Amino acid sequence: MTEITQAEEQVAAKVFGERLPVATRFVEHLATSGIERGLLGPREVPRLWSRHVLNCAVVEELIFTDARVADIGSGAGLPGLALAIARPDLQMTLIEPLERRVSWLDEVCSDLQLHNVRILRGRAEQVTDVVEADVVTARAVSALVKLAPISLPLLHGSGELLAIKGRTAAEELAKAEDRIRRLGGTALSVVTAGRAVLAEPTTVVRIGVGK
């Protein structure tokens, strides 16, 4: 079983509530088969809760109730599965091109009985016709200048992109601003999530499209 510090457990309890056992099981998958299949490096095990799962899950506070959420390049289910666990009201679509990762996501969703998740194998630009999202999420996929053209079309003219980024988020957004606006992005900002519970809040680039 993956160790969790007392501080992490307190935060996890606030973020996941009664679904904390499901989140704990997810972390166990990450620490075992996730490492074995190369979805994460073994050095990440001690910080699975703080750096990965909690860092992603707190983004749920930026998403409205019953939203249709498309997660691009889901990989190890970050942020997609973390959000699906924290918010069972969300309709999550995980978009992942690599077969071995899709297989792992299928297995984990089945074990965790996540009925609010569907998984599509493919690249974001290949599934535009079958995915219509209110919110698109992405973490460690690509720079905004490349991410925007493949993610914003999934909104079909209305919604927002929430891209989890690091300390250079504002600089990255500035470089991509012209392209984002040409793609229909109207409200561009850098915000934080989890400020009330995390020592280091999650930095998110928020891009609105339409109303």
With 90 as the cut, is the pLDDT of residue 161 above it?
A: yes
Is residue 1 included in any domain, yes or no? no
Q: In the numeric block, which tokens belong to residue 186? A: 């109207």
- Taking the C-alpha atoms of residue 103 and residue 109, their distance in angstroms, rounded to an integer, is 10
- Taking the C-alpha atoms of residue 10 and residue 187, their distance in angstroms, rounded to an integer, is 34
Instruction: Give the confidence band of 9 by pLDDT, cuts at 50, 70, 90.
Output: very high
Is residue 190 included in any domain, yes or no? yes
Instruction: Give the confidence band of 140 by pLDDT, cuts at 50, 70, 90.
Output: confident
**pLDDT tens digits along 175-195:** 999 999 999 999 999 999 999
What is the mean predicted confidence (pLDDT) over 40-55? Answer: 91
Measured over the CA atoms of residue 210, residue 164, residue 182 and residue 134, the dihedral's sign is negative
CATH number of the CATH domain containing 178: 3.40.50.150
Instruction: Give the confidence band of 147 by pLDDT, cuts at 50, 70, 90.
Output: very high
Q: Residue 6: exposed, middle, or buried by beta-carbon count in 10 A (0-12, 13-18, 19+)?
A: exposed
User: How many domains is the chain partitioned into structurally?
Assistant: 1
Q: Residue 163 sits in which domain range?
A: 6-209
Helical residues (DSSP H) of 17-94, grouped into ranges: 20-29, 35-36, 54-57, 80-86
Is residue 133 included in any domain, yes or no? yes
Instruction: Give me the residues paired with residue 121 across strands.
Output: 96
Is residue 26 included in any domain, yes or no? yes
With 80 as the cut, is the pLDDT of residue 61 above it?
A: yes
> What was the pLDDT predicted at 1?
53
